[in-house]
Structure 1
Amino acid sequence: MNLALKHILILFVLINVSCKRTLAEEQDATAPVTEIQNDIEKVEPPHWWIGFKNQDLQLLIKHPNIGKATAKINYAGVSLVKTHTADSPNYLFLDLEISETAKAGQFNITFQLKDDSELIQTYELKSREKSAEDYIGFNSSDAIYLITPDRFANANPENDEVKGLLQQGIDRTDGYARHGGDLQGITNHLDYIENLGFTAIWPCPVLINDMPKGSYHGYAMTDFYKVDPRFGTLEDYKKLASELDSRDMKLIMDQVANHCGLEHWWMKDLPFKDWVNYQENYEKNIDNWDNKTTITSNHRRTSNQDLYASKKDNEGMTDGWFVSSMPDLNQRNPFMAKYIIQNSIWWVETLGLGGIRQDTYPYPDKDFMSNWAGSIMAEYPNFSIVGEEWSYNPLLIAYWQDGHKNADGYDSNLKSTMDFAMQRTIVEALNEEESWDKGLIKMYEGLANDFVYASPKDIMVFPDNHDMSRIFTQLDGNITNTKMALSYLLMLPRIPQIYYGTEILMDDFDKPGDHGLIRTDFPGGWEGDTVNAFTGEGLSNDQKDMQLYLKTVLNYRKSSKAIHQGKTIHFAPINGIYVLARVTDNETVVHIINKNETTQDLDLSRFEELGLSGKSLSNIITKETMIWNSSLKLEGKGSTILTTKTL
């Protein structure tokens, strides 16, 4: 062997050894844990991800006497910054920093106890499945289908009852019992929902409500990281999200930051003395708590904005329990605040959400809610959050929307609020006889209030929801009025939400406002149902007609840039006729409401500014065409929707 070749071989060996050593060192720092250990009772969040803008993560550790332990982590890119004890010895909070260099993988957290024994918990950091910018929220191009999951469709009767839970049994004759609807039931009927023209669904909460009664509605959560097994599994939830994504549809998660259920696991051992509001009152009476104990509360939401509100009223609003079976969470506790924010982000990542609907938005601490929404939007700049503000005053609705200039300087970071004011206005306008200050003029002036909103098209409007009488009931069973209400709100510069069953005229006439009746089972969702709204079998002619009507309007709306983004122009009602138009350069949509029972000739010269003279327009319901000239014949009471697009 010549000398040069020998030197080359030696150099190759040295490089190979060096590379192996470097690779070994890297693997030692980030290699997956070969033995997964789960010695700890609870660790929340149960896992996390790399690559967030905010590199901080706080772990809640729950285990007997864990507060006396010393925690250690040895994983490249992850630093244990600080350990916090709680008032209860059974909690420990760990502040972690996950740097940009951290890699996905598993690592052990070692807890050294006072007796020198060790507990080991394996924790996982995951890679994010898509970029933050790819989380696209709902907007004015969407139409949202609201579902009460327990009442929509029962695809898996085997999960109707789960041993060990407090509420047992299925009773479809009882509006407040469980009926058996589940996540798979929604997934199985996505074809129906998509074909109707919806682009997003909002199911009421499906996290576990292990409560002795009323557990079906989902708003009394007893574990913020666990799907209620009567609705299915986390995999069922993920499957629903995946199926929606494959259809270019969005999943909106209903979340609750204000309260939990009285049977939440932490209520048996609260970590801090101020984990929930009025905690001392609760702990003094815990042995005799019967869900009827009075906790000081004040549901006057105006105290959030009121310049003259007393401290007592403010305290009652923010700290008071929503109801006595739903403890009010104290978001001023920094650990609670962090917990709620992280929980929301965990679900966004886990499900690939297309939005969050936040329940009872004005009830929690409003500064926290600004931080909560701001933290989510900072991570997901194209995301959407809508907050429930049940107020009929546009000033209060506007206060909570991001970008509104509030007198107190408050900025909510909340993209969307819910338009209860417009909902009530539409109902009143259609139910009332016409006069100078009643009827359609109310609808017109209600929309005229949009000047107060920072972004009207980002507000969510709806004819009804899971907490109020069905729109068909509110309109006294008048089918024509119901069609006018639906068509009008679907033309507005808004994000529309429709409650399941509206398309088949579901009602609560027997007991208006009764929640159990409002949330009636969707026909065809249970084996043996004699009526099936998914197929049309057994529906009345009126129900089929409404179903087709809504389907036609929604599917037109789906591709209408004018409705999604167009300029809005409306004309004050005259003689019981109200005209609204949505206009872009390439499309004009004209919506006409006629409350007269008789045929009317509408003089079109008043609408010259729409630039439609001599143009051909199509009726999106009848498909008939007309030339926009001097007048238009309106054949009695109802809505007319015309478009310049070719159908």
Structure 2
Amino acid sequence: MHKFFTKKFVFLLLYVSLSFEFTDAAAASVTRVEPAYWWIGMKNKELQLMVYGPAIAKSTPEITYPGVTIKEVARTDNPNYLFVYLTIDAAKPGIVPIKFSDNGKVFTYKYELKARTDKSGALGFSKADVLYLLTPDRFANGNIKNDNWDNVNVDRNDPNARHGGDLQGVAQRLDYIKDLGFTTVWFNPVQENKMPHGSYHGYAITDFYKIDQRFGTNEDFKKLTATMHAKGMKVVMDMIFNHCGSEHPWMKDKPAADWINNPNNYVETNHAKLTAMDTHAAKTEQDILLDGWFVRSMPDLNQRNRHLATYLIQNSIWWIEYARIDGIRQDTYPYPDYQFMARWCKEVMDEYPNFNIVGESWYGKSSEVAWWQRNSSLNKNNSYLKTVMDFPLTFASEKGFSKDDNEHGGESSGLYSVFEVIAQDFLYADPDNILTFLDNHDLGRFARKEETDLNRFKQAFAFLLTTRGIPQIYYGTEILMVGTKNEGDGSIRKDFPGGWPGDKTDAFTAAGRTRMQNEAFDYLKKLLNWRKNNDAVINGKLTHYAPSWNNNAYVYARISGDKTVLVILNGSGKDQDLDMARYTDVTGSHTTGIDVITGKQVQLKGTVTVPARGEYILELN
């Protein structure tokens, strides 16, 4: 017993000495410093250190290290926090001793500056990519040992509980994702959500610098991104600046009184996102949108606090530099402070010019979405946001590809509603950088359980993967996973069959899929892999024709140099003969086309018969 105690004490003393050098046993101490370390050679020479410890604000920091100086020491109304702003210029990697003095008592914190040795990743994502969106808790469980934590246990029978999916599960399925034809994986949030009921979705962060240990470790995530880069794949990380989780340590000891909006009186946001841009909006309405909480378990962060703003910006840059991620999807984009979000976008893009950020711009009209894109003529204050999400096209596609919609087309019905959204691209500063999708983790699944054929499925994905923008497809779409929003979020975030040890069905394999699932899988795989190498679809100019009021057919072409892809969609329930004379702008002298999926040669003279609810994707010869 005595030997055990001695060894334990020596180990503890050794551990403490790694970060602290004490000159007085009674001196104050530092519990945590964020970020835990940084890198030399960054374009932005300023670094903020959030220093936390009992009464640390009473102390005065001092640094003697070549190339590192203290620019500012800022204190708040909370004596347990100290914000130290450093200037790092021409410094070398190493341990920077920070001496904290308080009435003659001194202790030293050893802060590490690392060399920037990893130059992989940070590539951004573009119209050449197709994103595979997955919810890590629901995709695959590669390590059952990390399932349960902090009295929150896995329960796969509860759609709102943790199910055990993790980063190792994703790593084991990377070849599946790549072979299917995806270039990029977008992860729903993987940072720590140490919440009482599990917060499987990841949107209630309790540690911005730590991967949730039920998914794995920071090092696991870094290794995963490195593996993906080695396979020629990219990584998009979901981030949330609007709020944190109610169990975040900040909620027990706030860094400043104004760190959280409405800290003492719960006010729920009105979700009136239009007020962010509405010139007639009452200030009180705007305040409720920006400062109201999303839900009680997600306190609203006040990005107008300059220390918090810098903290969040640095956090993004830390993850990019640490894990070399290629892009960020920012949640609830209109809800945080506008000026802060613009500053964040600009500083990230200044540091990583090839990077890309997509903001969740959940609006019903193209004008509303376009307002948020950088360099928009609709918005006098530049947002610096490179990519926006095309929710209007999503909603139009749900309507336009539906068999229940008007068989004859015409304005605001059938495929005309899809055409109408694309026709409003004049509103966008950059139509190439628009994320397009048919569903995601917040919407009902595009596939419907009552469907007995793939006509609607094939037609919609033929469109998604050949129109302008950056396509995103939700995990499980390839096996026709279904679920409606009315059934609850758990219904649209189901476990992928075969991702868990002991699953009766393994849909990662052809043998584990039904005939219809394999048909959908094979269709997407062929289309995705064809798209990878098709310059006309990736870079070509889009020219389209309005669906006629009486035929509900949408025809368009993608043209790059001498390469032309012609897409014909028949949205009606009967075969149609289309007079190709109307489309000579894009067909030119071509007389035939080869269908990408079937290999069938299609004559372009006279009329072309398009099957009911059918589509042609033709490479013109």
Question: TM exceeds 0.5?
Answer: yes
Pairing 1:263-302 to 2, within 5 Å after superposition: 263-281=247-265, 294-302=266-274
1:142 aligned residue: 129
2:144 aligned residue: 157
Pairing 1:484-523 to 2, within 5 Å after superposition: 484-508=459-483, 512-523=486-497
* Candidates 572, 576, 586, aligned match of 2:546: 572
* Candidates 155, 161, 176, aligned match of 2:160: 176
Whole-angstrom CA distance in 2 between matches of 1:211 and 1:319: 22
1:106 aligned residue: 95
Unpaired runs of 5+ residues, structure 1, are 1-33, 282-293
Aligned-pair CA distance for 1:636:
2.9
Aligned-pair CA distance for 1:540:
1.1
Q: Is the 8 A contact 1:256 1:360 kept in 2?
A: yes
Q: Does 1:372 align with 2:361?
A: no
2:517 aligned residue: 543
Q: Is the 8 A contact 2:554 2:570 kept in 1?
A: yes
Q: Is the 8 A contact 2:439 2:445 kept in 1?
A: yes
Alpha-carbon displacement from aligned partner over 1:548-602 (angstroms, at most 9, x marks no partner): 1111111111111111111001111131211111111131111111123333322
Pairing 1:440-519 to 2, within 5 Å after superposition: 440-473=415-448, 479-508=454-483, 512-519=486-493
Whole-angstrom CA distance in 2 between matches of 1:229 and 1:614: 58
Alpha-carbon displacement from aligned partner over 1:490-536 (angstroms, at most 9, x marks no partner): 11111000000001110015x74510110000011011112112112
Whole-angstrom CA distance in 2 between matches of 1:317 and 1:477: 43
Range moving further from structure 2, 253-262 or 587-596? 587-596
2:616 aligned residue: 640
Aligned-pair CA distance for 1:296:
4.3
Paired residue secondary structure (2:95)? strand
| Residues 491/188 of structure 1: CA separation in 2 closer, same or farther (3 Å cut) | same
Whole-angstrom CA distance in 2 between matches of 1:416 and 1:488: 20
Whole-angstrom CA distance in 2 between matches of 1:317 and 1:110: 43
1:290 aligned residue: none
Aligned-pair CA distance for 1:214:
4.3
Q: Does 1:584 align with 2:573?
A: no
1:236 aligned residue: 220
Aligned-pair CA distance for 1:131:
5.6
Pairing 1:189-204 to 2, within 5 Å after superposition: 189-204=173-188
Aligned-pair CA distance for 1:121:
1.6
| Residues 414/477 of structure 1: CA separation in 2 closer, same or farther (3 Å cut) | farther
Paired residue secondary structure (1:120)? strand
Paired residue secondary structure (2:211)? coil
Tell me the matched-pair count.
Answer: 592
Whole-angstrom CA distance in 1 between matches of 2:125 and 2:451: 32
1:93 aligned residue: 83
1:425 aligned residue: 396
1:341 aligned residue: 313
Whole-angstrom CA distance in 1 between matches of 2:409 and 2:555: 17
Alpha-carbon displacement from aligned partner over 1:294-335 (angstroms, at most 9, x marks no partner): 414221011111111001001101111111110100000000
Whole-angstrom CA distance in 2 between matches of 1:352 and 1:363: 27
Whole-angstrom CA distance in 2 between matches of 1:77 and 1:583: 53
Q: Which amino acid is 1:160 matched to? A: D
Q: Does 1:331 align with 2:313?
A: no
Range moving further from structure 2, 103-112 or 358-367? 103-112
Whole-angstrom CA distance in 1 between matches of 2:590 and 2:542: 21
Unpaired runs of 5+ residues, structure 2, are 1-15, 21-28
* Candidates 116, 123, 144, aligned match of 1:128: 116
Q: Does 1:66 align with 2:53?
A: no
Pairing 1:223-262 to 2, within 5 Å after superposition: 223-262=207-246
Whole-angstrom CA distance in 2 between matches of 1:213 and 1:554: 38
Q: Which amino acid is 1:104 matched to? A: P
Whole-angstrom CA distance in 1 between matches of 2:142 and 2:270: 41
Whole-angstrom CA distance in 1 between matches of 2:152 and 2:509: 31
Q: Is the 8 A contact 2:574 2:611 kept in 1?
A: yes
Range moving further from structure 2, 240-249 or 151-160? 240-249
Aligned-pair CA distance for 1:630:
2.3
Aligned-pair CA distance for 1:187:
1.0
Q: Is the 8 A contact 2:152 2:198 kept in 1?
A: no
| Residues 393/75 of structure 1: CA separation in 2 closer, same or farther (3 Å cut) | same
Whole-angstrom CA distance in 2 between matches of 1:297 and 1:614: 56
RMSD: 1.8
Alpha-carbon displacement from aligned partner over 1:196-249 (angstroms, at most 9, x marks no partner): 110000010011101111411100000100111000011110111001111121
Range moving further from structure 2, 518-527 or 439-448? 439-448
* Candidates 514, 525, 534, aligned match of 2:499: 525
TM-score (norm 2): 0.92
Q: Is the 8 A contact 2:69 2:87 kept in 1?
A: yes
Whole-angstrom CA distance in 2 between matches of 1:445 and 1:85: 54
* Candidates 413, 417, 422, aligned match of 2:384: 413
Whole-angstrom CA distance in 2 between matches of 1:387 and 1:152: 24
Whole-angstrom CA distance in 1 between matches of 2:161 and 2:511: 27
2:25 aligned residue: none
Whole-angstrom CA distance in 1 between matches of 2:263 and 2:286: 18
Q: Which amino acid is 1:196 matched to? A: L
Q: Which amino acid is 1:263 matched to? A: E
Q: Which amino acid is 1:106 matched to? A: I
Whole-angstrom CA distance in 1 between matches of 2:555 and 2:331: 35
Alpha-carbon displacement from aligned partner over 1:82-115 (angstroms, at most 9, x marks no partner): 211121111111010001x11111222121223x
* Candidates 38, 41, 45, aligned match of 1:48: 38
Paired residue secondary structure (1:373)? helix
Whole-angstrom CA distance in 2 between matches of 1:493 and 1:312: 39
Aligned-pair CA distance for 1:541:
0.7
1:314 aligned residue: 286
Q: Is the 8 A contact 2:410 2:552 kept in 1?
A: no
Alpha-carbon displacement from aligned partner over 1:151-182 (angstroms, at most 9, x marks no partner): 000000000012xx2x5111111100100000
Whole-angstrom CA distance in 1 between matches of 2:192 and 2:471: 28
Whole-angstrom CA distance in 1 between matches of 2:391 and 2:374: 18
| Residues 177/337 of structure 1: CA separation in 2 closer, same or farther (3 Å cut) | same
Whole-angstrom CA distance in 2 between matches of 1:310 and 1:403: 26
Whole-angstrom CA distance in 1 between matches of 2:441 and 2:263: 30
Pairing 1:18-37 to 2, within 5 Å after superposition: 36-37=18-19
Paired residue secondary structure (1:555)? helix
Q: Which amino acid is 1:111 matched to? A: F
Q: Which has the larger radius of gyration?
A: 1
Q: Is the 8 A contact 1:613 1:628 kept in 2?
A: no
Paired residue secondary structure (1:356)? strand
Q: Does 1:617 align with 2:606?
A: no
Aligned-pair CA distance for 1:616:
3.9
Whole-angstrom CA distance in 2 between matches of 1:401 and 1:473: 33
Whole-angstrom CA distance in 2 between matches of 1:427 and 1:483: 13
Paired residue secondary structure (1:224)? strand
Paired residue secondary structure (2:54)? coil
Paired residue secondary structure (1:243)? helix
Q: Which amino acid is 1:278 matched to? A: N
Q: Which amino acid is 1:542 matched to? A: M
Paired residue secondary structure (1:195)? helix
